[in-house]
Amino acid sequence: MRIGFLGLGAMGAAMASNLIKAGHEVTVWNRSADAAKPLAEQGATVAATPAEAAAGAEVIHGMLANDAAVRQVLIDGGVLDALPRGAVHVNHATISVALARELVEAHETRGLGFVAAPVFGRPDVAAAGALNIVVAGKPDAVATVQPLLDLLAGKIWPMGDDPIRSVIVKIGGNFMIGAAIESMAEATALTRAHGVSAADFLDVMSNSLFAAPVFKNYGGQIAKNTYEPAGFKLSLGFKDVGLARSAADAERVPMPLASLLHDTLLESLAQGDGDIDWAGMARVAAARAHLKD
């Protein structure tokens, strides 16, 4: 299949690599051209522009950073206009509900398929083709891309015909991850203040009451006080909590914990920690308790 792939950060590069390994004809584009070089060595064609990656593609995947990047690339960058009628765009990025609604209309007016397929998982999970992918879109569009999603996913979670459903599930899920990190950060500060190390406390929690990947993975980082390299940047976590708050405002859904997360993440950004993993929120909790690393 002729595939375009836009956005080659750690997640996107791993996903595109799996499509190349499966024998598909993949054309890639990234704002920084250097990120495309390893994929070119694997057999990908490197496009000079996003529209060039879309021209002639049967399916185009996008793993871009935020709403601004998605809008700039897809609409301003001419991707939707360059795609052949009947092609399908698969959006893997975490975007706002408002932009998702706009994209649904933009695809329909151009005769394009649109599948929202945001992912849960970190770069190593993406490389293993074991992501959890939440998928929604019209049945014919989903059927077209299903074989490709199967190459990327450990499990696919169908959410129906409306792409908004997948978008809001992803936003809600990332909010819950942030809430889990905040709870670990505060509880760890509490136990440290009473002489129990973060490693001892989180070992108990992540192997008993909270034996789940989020607590094991992020708890492990907090226990070691190691937040680089980032699996998911703190600045992106701030963006996603903002998406949750905006979606909540639109439907008058009170989310007081989201406001707390916003403030913690903002404090982290003010300290210059935007590029560390968002498990680094634990630094804020420790600093508030006047605990030294």
Report the CATH number at residue 192.
1.10.1040.10
Residue 155 and residue 176 in one domain? no
Structure tokens at 241: 């909590």
Residue 154 and residue 9 in one domain? yes
Examine residue 12 and state whether it is found in any structural domain, yes or no.
yes
Examine residue 142 and state whether it is found in any structural domain, yes or no.
yes
Residue 157 and residue 123 in one domain? yes
221-232 confidence digits (pLDDT tens): 999 999 999 999
Residue 20 and residue 157 in one domain? yes
Examine residue 157 and state whether it is found in any structural domain, yes or no.
yes
Q: What is the pTM of this model?
A: 0.95
pLDDT band at 1 (very low <50, low <70, confident <90, very high): very high
pLDDT of residue 250: 96
Examine residue 293 and state whether it is found in any structural domain, yes or no.
no
For the chain, the first-to-last Cα distance in angstroms comes to 51
Mean pLDDT, residues 159-171 taken together: 98
Examine residue 42 and state whether it is found in any structural domain, yes or no.
yes
Mean pLDDT, residues 212-220 taken together: 96
Examine residue 71 and state whether it is found in any structural domain, yes or no.
yes
Grouping H, G, I as helix, E, B as strand and the rest as coil, residue 98 is helix
Number of domains in the chain: 2
pLDDT of residue 146: 98
Residue 253 and residue 147 in one domain? no
Please state, rounded to an integer, the average pLDDT across all residues of the chain: 97
248-264 confidence digits (pLDDT tens): 999 999 999 999 999 99
24-75 confidence digits (pLDDT tens): 999 999 999 899 999 999 999 999 999 999 999 999 999 999 999 999 999 9
Contacts of 149 (CB under 8 A, 6+ apart): 90, 117, 133, 135, 156
pLDDT band at 13 (very low <50, low <70, confident <90, very high): very high
Mean pLDDT, residues 100-124 taken together: 97
Q: Which domain holds residue 134?
A: 2-161
pLDDT of residue 145: 98
* 154 has a pLDDT exceeding 90: yes
Buried b (16+ CB within 10 A) or exposed e, 136-145: bbbeebbebb
Residue 140 and residue 239 in one domain? no
pLDDT of residue 292: 86
Q: Which residues are catalytic?
A: 170
Examine residue 270 and state whether it is found in any structural domain, yes or no.
yes
Residues counted in the chain:
293
Residue 101 and residue 239 in one domain? no
Residue 183 and residue 265 in one domain? yes
Q: Tell me how far CA of residue 14 lies from CA of 35, 41, 48, 111, in angstroms.
A: 11, 14, 20, 29
pLDDT of residue 45: 98
What percent of the chain has a predicted confidence (pLDDT) above 70? 100
Mean pLDDT, residues 110-117 taken together: 98
Residue 13 and residue 151 in one domain? yes
pLDDT of residue 126: 97
* 153 has a pLDDT exceeding 90: yes
Examine residue 21 and state whether it is found in any structural domain, yes or no.
yes
- Inter-axis angle of helices 256-270 and 163-193, nearest 10: 70
pLDDT of residue 293: 73
pLDDT of residue 78: 94
- CB 74: neighbour CB atoms within 10 A? 27
Query: Which of 116, 141, 161 is the last residue in one of the domains?
Result: 161
Sequence-ordered alpha helix ranges (H) in 111-233: 123-127, 139-152, 163-193, 198-206, 213-224
